[in-house]
Structure 1
Amino acid sequence: MKLLMLCREPRLYSCQRLQQAAASGGHQMDIFDPNRCLLKLSVNPPHFQLYYQANRNADPILLDKYDAVLPRFGTSSTKMGCAVLQHFAAQRIYCLNHANAFALARDKWQSLQLLLQNGIPVPSSFLSGCEFTAENAVRTATKSAVQNNVEQAESSLILKTLSGSQGIGVMLTEKPQSAVSLLETLTQAQISVLLQDFIAEADGADIRCFVIGEQVVATMQRKGQSGEFRANCHRGGVTEKIQLTQQEKQIAINATKAIGLDVAGVDLIRSKQGVLVLEVNASPGLEMIEKTSGIDIATQMISFIERKVTESVNIL
């Protein structure tokens, strides 16, 4: 097969591992930055074309057709990356995570709404309009946390920007006054943010599940450094192996399906209310979870693509 990965940083561990796994399977994989693409639509006959400019001084080249596309772009490339994905999907080329699902996963609030709509447990969360006062938003969120018997509910709340990754845009406020001040500042800057219960009993730990299709292929527990509530590895968190219950695995699979993804990193947290889904990541990193679990996730992803492409060919 001829594969295309959409990624701005080809040197990243995940990109290198997937390219190696593709080569081991006898496939060619190109890695292109979606922000360097030019999309063309023509009407007679209906036609989709894509040009790529490797650098500012290079002449654009018309790309050949690919058998499948792997999206691995970051939040700064979401809009153009999804446009490129849709361009390929319109040509009936298989995309490992479709544009609509990818964009949905990047919006923390809309993805939480859809998860709860599908019966998947999430932390109590609040999103206020720009004319709803920050003081009332924080008071309502804090009152709800007390009613839910959340530890330290009288003071602590999590604030999250609607887009962001690797722990960026996630803030812990230990006093209501701090939450009000921060929410007012972000609202004034026209940055949308949600409020969420702080799950103190998790002790700075969460669980990353790597889902491919309808299977959890690898897991790890992440724990933040002393004094750090975020468990993300990019924030200095440490990882270890962990065994999940069948119920926890099923929740991760259901969350992936609810968002409409084929591959996802699902973050879970164990609370007094049971296991909750914090987030569903459409482009989960491979490095720490492969090294922690000892599982070759990259090869499993390529094998999944092989099956999907074969199925699509048989259908056609």
Structure 2
Amino acid sequence: MKLAVVELIDVTTDQRNRELVQIRRICEELEIDYQEFPVNVLPVGDWFDPDTVCIVRGSVKNRKMWLDKITEMEYRGCTMINTRNCIEVCNDKYRTYLALNQVGLHQPNTVLVPSEYDNLIDHVIQEAGLQFPLVLKTLEGSYGVGVALMESPLGLNGVIQAMNTRVDWDGAILQEYIPHGGDIRAHVVDNEIFGSMFRTPPPGDFRTNIARGGQGIVCELTELEKEHCKLAANAVGARWCGVDFIPSDDRENISPKIIEVNCAAETGGLEAALVGKDDEESAPLLRKIIEHFMVEK
């Protein structure tokens, strides 16, 4: 068996670089034939075959050629973690919402932002029964970028008008704002929970992303939460993903609200919670994931 880390990224981050170093070391220790594959540089060669497990990392925005390389790997019989379809669903927040809605999962009330016209935006908000404050999210985005809390119609309309002037503007969603003291990210791998952490936002922010300064501590999930996380992963077709949710006040009996499914969830936050921030070599979550896919394929 061989392992390829397929990088769907233009610019690397410290977290991604650290993850690559950890994967490289784990593969050396386990004597796994390993390759890093930046899709923006290399062609898909004969090394990719039915004995290759491809773990796709990063997100892609309007890069059809990059996604076509994922499709080529699929045609060559590689085991994809995850497939092109899963990547495209998870990289579109409204498609994710629709997929989760199809299986009856609880989510914040969500609508597409129709256009820059104030009256249409106001109409959509009214029809959905939404009230300010609202969470505005670009359809594509990661690390908490493109997410903002809108306090008033005037502020919302101003932001949307500004966004519509951007060449790369693809649209956005509006979501019901649910006040919370934090959320939970669970790593789901082939219908198992491999780890989870409770994340709290930094002072003055509502976003809990570790990349935005959020803090994580290891936590356990209830059976109900595990069930809903597995349903979410299956709904988007992910073999490995991060499921983010806001826990209910009665976690044993009341369903959580799923807020996002990340098909290339970073491991750094949970690894730091497991072993400490100063330990950059130990990577128990990544090791467990790699060992799993090398056996289960």
TM-score, scaled to structure 1:
0.80
Instruction: State the SS of the aligned residue for 1:86.
Output: helix
Residue number among 276, 283, 296 corresponding to 2:284 in the alignment: 296
Deviation at 1:77, TM superposition (A): 8.0
Instruction: State the SS of the aligned residue for 1:37.
Output: coil
Q: Percent identity?
A: 23
Structure 1 position 270 matched with structure 2 position 216: no
* TM-align CA RMSD: 2.4
How is 1:34-45 mapped onto 2 (pairs within 5 angstroms)?
34-38=39-43
Residue in 2 that maps onto 1:89: 74
Q: Hey, what's the Cα distance between the residues in 1 that align with 2:134 and 2:184?
A: 20
The runs of 5 or more residues in structure 2 that have no matched partner are: 276-282
Deviation at 1:142, TM superposition (A): 5.9
* Cα deviations by residue, 1:237-261 (Å, 9 ceiling, x for unpaired): 1112222211111111110011001
Q: How many residues end up aligned between the 2 structures?
A: 278
Q: Hey, what's the Cα distance between the residues in 2 that align with 1:293 and 1:206?
A: 17
Q: Hey, what's the Cα distance between the residues in 2 that align with 1:290 and 1:221?
A: 13
Q: Hey, what's the Cα distance between the residues in 2 that align with 1:77 and 1:71?
A: 16
TM-score, scaled to structure 2:
0.85
Instruction: State the SS of the aligned residue for 1:35.
Output: coil
Residue in 1 that maps onto 2:280: none
Residue in 2 that maps onto 1:111: 96
Q: Hey, what's the Cα distance between the residues in 2 that align with 1:185 and 1:271?
A: 35
* Cα deviations by residue, 1:171-218 (Å, 9 ceiling, x for unpaired): 111122111221233234343011111112x13x11110111111111
Q: Hey, what's the Cα distance between the residues in 1 that align with 2:295 and 2:62?
A: 28
Q: Hey, what's the Cα distance between the residues in 1 that align with 2:113 and 2:126?
A: 14
Once structures 1 and 2 are overlaid, which stretch shifts more, 279-288 or 75-84? Answer: 75-84
Residue number among 35, 38, 58 corresponding to 1:33 in the alignment: 38
* Cα deviations by residue, 1:255-299 (Å, 9 ceiling, x for unpaired): 001100100011101357841111110111111111213471112
Residue in 1 that maps onto 2:125: 141
Residue number among 123, 129, 150 corresponding to 2:114 in the alignment: 129
Q: Hey, what's the Cα distance between the residues in 2 that align with 1:78 and 1:247?
A: 37
Deviation at 1:36, TM superposition (A): 0.6
Q: Hey, what's the Cα distance between the residues in 2 that align with 1:268 and 1:93?
A: 31
The runs of 5 or more residues in structure 1 that have no matched partner are: 39-49, 52-61, 147-152, 310-316
How is 1:1-316 mapped onto 2 (pairs within 5 angstroms)?
1-7=1-7, 8=9, 9=12, 12-38=17-43, 50=44, 63=47, 65=49, 67-76=52-61, 79-130=64-115, 133-138=117-122, 140-141=124-125, 144=128, 153=131, 155-189=132-166, 190-200=169-179, 202-203=180-181, 205-270=182-247, 274-294=255-275, 296-309=284-297
Q: Hey, what's the Cα distance between the residues in 2 that align with 1:156 and 1:143?
A: 16
Name the CA shift for 1:35/1:218 in 2 (closer, same or farther; >3 Å): same
Q: Which amino acid aligns with 2:183?
A: D
Q: Hey, what's the Cα distance between the residues in 2 that align with 1:270 and 1:248?
A: 8
Once structures 1 and 2 are overlaid, which stretch shifts more, 172-181 or 293-302? Answer: 293-302
Deviation at 1:145, TM superposition (A): 5.0
Q: Which amino acid aligns with 1:304?
A: H
Q: Which amino acid aligns with 1:195?
A: L
Q: Hey, what's the Cα distance between the residues in 1 that align with 2:74 and 2:22?
A: 24
Deviation at 1:135, TM superposition (A): 3.8
Contact 2:48-2:78 at 8 Å conserved across structures: no
Q: Hey, what's the Cα distance between the residues in 1 that align with 2:27 and 2:157?
A: 49
Residue in 2 that maps onto 1:150: none
Instruction: State the SS of the aligned residue for 1:244.
Output: coil
Q: Hey, what's the Cα distance between the residues in 1 that align with 2:247 and 2:161?
A: 30
